[in-house]
Amino acid sequence: MRQFDTGSERGQKATFILQIKFRQNASWQGTVQWVEKKQEINFRSALELIKIIDSACEQGYQADVIGFEQAII
């Protein structure tokens, strides 16, 4: 089994809750909720979901709702 660096030296962790509502066009559609910031945003594809989570992690805990949503547009 491959071991991954948990990034314990990189900063704080984030918690996301995913709700997959549909599976169409060979991808997922649903919502992602950022628990610590109490923010929720819809995504239209698995790629968009990855971009949302990546953007939120890059912004860290300084992001606000507007920045979180604009990061994927």
Per-residue CA distances from 48 to 9, 14, 32, 39, 52 (Å): 27, 18, 11, 16, 6
Q: CA torsion 54→57→60→61, rounded to 10°?
A: 100
Look up residue 56 and give its two tokens.
């939120």
Q: What is the pTM of this model?
A: 0.62
Rounded CA-CA distance 49/6 in Å is 20
Go through the chain and tell me how many residues it has.
73
Mean pLDDT across 31-42: 90
Look up residue 42 and give its two tokens.
């819809």
Return the percentage of the chain with pLDDT > 70, whole number: 64
pLDDT band at 34 (very low <50, low <70, confident <90, very high): confident
Mean pLDDT across 27-41: 90
